[in-house]
Amino acid sequence: MTTQNDTAEADRALKTKHRAMWAQGDYPSLAAEVIPGLGATLVEACGVGPGQRVLDVGAGSGNAAIPAALAGADVVASDLTPELFEAGRRAAEQRGARLTWQEGDAEALPFGDGEFDTVLSCVGVMFAPHHQRAADELVRVCRPGGTIGLLSWTPQGFIGRMFATMKPYAPPPPPGAQPPPLWGDEDHVRALLGDRVTDLRAERRTVRIERFDTPETFRDYFKERYGPTIAVYKNLADAPERAAALDRDLADLARDAGLGTGPDGTALEWEYLLCTARRAG
């Protein structure tokens, strides 16, 4: 029989695993080199400005937190993986942004009820394994009338398809864990937030990626820098034939998306869902 202590211990082990996954590779450089503008896009959509108290959940190295601070807000950047903060601090200093960095689990945020005017997450909270817990926390720490803003990769878009490509090569997810790209499905987000928010607006957009010139360049870049991809390859350490198959599948994914082929062969279009809502009450 599974006890409450067993469940808590399993959850702690899962979070330790997640923290280690994002600490490996070099996510800060990937965010800065491949998707540098996404955080600012979310900040603008949320109407962040001077005098606001803002929380960035799953902030990583500050892709959204730094633009929010530059907009004049009082910002806290929170992440399960504080190893990412050093790169964020350097980037903030270089850009003249002042903000607070605080370790925190998106499913159990270390902040008070209604503490923030705006709670946002740019491809961050979507990686918390238990979606409803994370959504409950986003709502809890946002003040009534405040803004919740989310930018997430869609299941149908390139990154969603990349996770689907890697899934057969990864170990089975733990019980209760949900796929990250579900946060890019409007119906899923509406169900998570429910009637605790009003004025929910959702828009699918794309970001143009011109960082890679061949499918293999894309694959090798993610193998070296992106924690989830690194973790899947580590799972295949004793299965070189399966690792080679994943090599082919990831390159084929990029090739099928047009990378390396056709007149526009150095660009990829990555789809995301941009959501904003008001906390009810």
Distance CA 213, CA 154 (A): 23
Q: Please state whether 138 falls in left (phi above 0), alpha (psi between -120 and 50) or beta.
A: alpha
Domain ranges of the chain: 4-207+269-279
Residues with pLDDT less than 70, the chain: 1-7, 262-265
pLDDT in the model for residue 9: 84
Distance CA 257, CA 253 (A): 6
pLDDT in the model for residue 94: 97
Q: Which helix (H) or strand (E) holds 245?
A: helix 240-256
Write out pLDDT tens, residues 101-157.
Answer: 999 999 999 999 999 999 999 999 999 999 999 999 999 999 999 999 999 999 999
Distance CA 65, CA 149 (A): 12
pLDDT in the model for residue 281: 87
Q: Which residues is 120 bridged to in the sheet?
A: 56, 149
The torsion defined by the Cα of 214, 169, 123 and 81, in degrees rounded to 10, comes to -110
CB 276 within 8 A of CB 42: no
Q: Which residues is 77 bridged to in the sheet?
A: 56, 101
- Domain 4-207+269-279: give its CATH architecture: 3-Layer(aba) Sandwich (3.40)
Beginning with the edge strand found earlier in the chain, give each strand of the sheet holding 197-209 in spatial order: 100-103, 74-79, 53-57, 116-122, 142-153, 268-279, 197-209
- The H-assigned helical ranges of 46-178 are 65-70, 85-95, 131-141, 158-166
Question: What's the whole-model pTM score?
Answer: 0.95
pLDDT in the model for residue 82: 97
Cβ neighbourhood burial of 57 (10 Å; 0-12, 13-18, 19+): buried
Distance CA 24, CA 81 (A): 10
